[in-house]
Amino acid sequence: MRGTIPIQQVAAFAEGPFEGNPAAVCSLDAWLPDALLQSIAAENNLSETAFVVGADGCYGLRWFTPSCEVDLCGHATLAAAHVVFQQDQGQEQIRFESRSGDLLVRRRGERFTLDFPVQESRPCEAPPELNRALNLRTTACLQGVDLMAVVADEETVRRLQPDLAMVAALPGRGLIVTAPGINADFVSRFFAPGLGIDEDPVTGSAHCSLTPYWAEQLGRSCLDARQLSQRSGTLHCQLQGERVLITGRVMPFLSGVIHLADLTPLTAKQH
């Protein structure tokens, strides 16, 4: 296998340098074997690597963690949109075809808006393992794609040091912990050790569950959110029926190329 793949690393939902969630974006001429895409994502060792194929405002998009492919990723979609808009200067909207259906991204100056489906969560009894994993009692618990734990206040979210082995055994893709915010409408953190991501810095897809929950709690459809990881990030969310609009900024960090010829022997040996 010959040739190179352009790659950019950018931080999504960042308001300044060294904030937000880093993602790698690889622009492809055609889809490569899944095993090779997975190996590239593992080598990048970021929470997500996005792979993009297409042109003229319509693209295929796939997301890989270091250990598996996922159905939906917000921050890597924002990162991919930033890269695509660089290539398609005349476009103000692009469409990604993904495992979660068609996803639209609009450009508004320096900000990008994701148009994502709501991920419904239903109230449930908190699993006993959840309270032990967090070493506290939750005020509410909901189950959807992720398990969502609501706690008393922002400082509780900020100080969490969960038992990640216990978190990995909980139901759902990952664990969202959330509370009312002080300088934002709500705050959260996201843990997905079962996907190889102990803590995700800023998780766009989790806000497809967080936004409808807090919109109902606060009686407003437009909400400002802050994810309280070590890097932290800011998201502006709007509930529109069965869709969630998530707006944020992107900070570029590096660009380069992946040399396919050097990867082929290793990939063949491992897979």
CA nearest neighbour of 57 among 28, 23, 25, 81? 81
Q: What distance in Å separates the CA atoms of residue 271 and residue 267, rounded to the nearest whole number?
A: 6
State residue 181's pLDDT score: 98
State residue 43's pLDDT score: 95
**For each successive 10 residues of the chain (271 residues), what is the average pLDDT?**
88 92 96 96 94 90 94 93 88 92 92 94 94 94 97 97 96 96 98 91 95 98 96 96 96 94 54 43
Q: What distance in Å separates the CA atoms of residue 156 and residue 134, rounded to the nearest whole number?
A: 10
Which two structure tokens, joined as six digits, stand for 41?
């994502």
For the chain, domains (ranges, CATH) are 4-117+249-270 (3.10.310.10), 122-241 (3.10.310.10)
User: Which residue out of 15, 19, 43, 48 is catalytically annotated?
Assistant: 48
State residue 2's pLDDT score: 63
Q: What distance in Å separates the CA atoms of residue 220 and residue 214, rounded to the nearest whole number?
A: 8
State residue 91's pLDDT score: 83
State residue 264's pLDDT score: 58
Q: Is 19 a catalytic residue?
A: no
Which two structure tokens, joined as six digits, stand for 250?
């992107």
| Residue type at position 136 | L
| Cβ partners under 8 Å of residue 61, min gap 6 | 50, 51, 52, 77, 80, 96, 97, 98, 103
CA nearest neighbour of 169 among 203, 127, 124, 138? 127
Strand partners, 23: 10
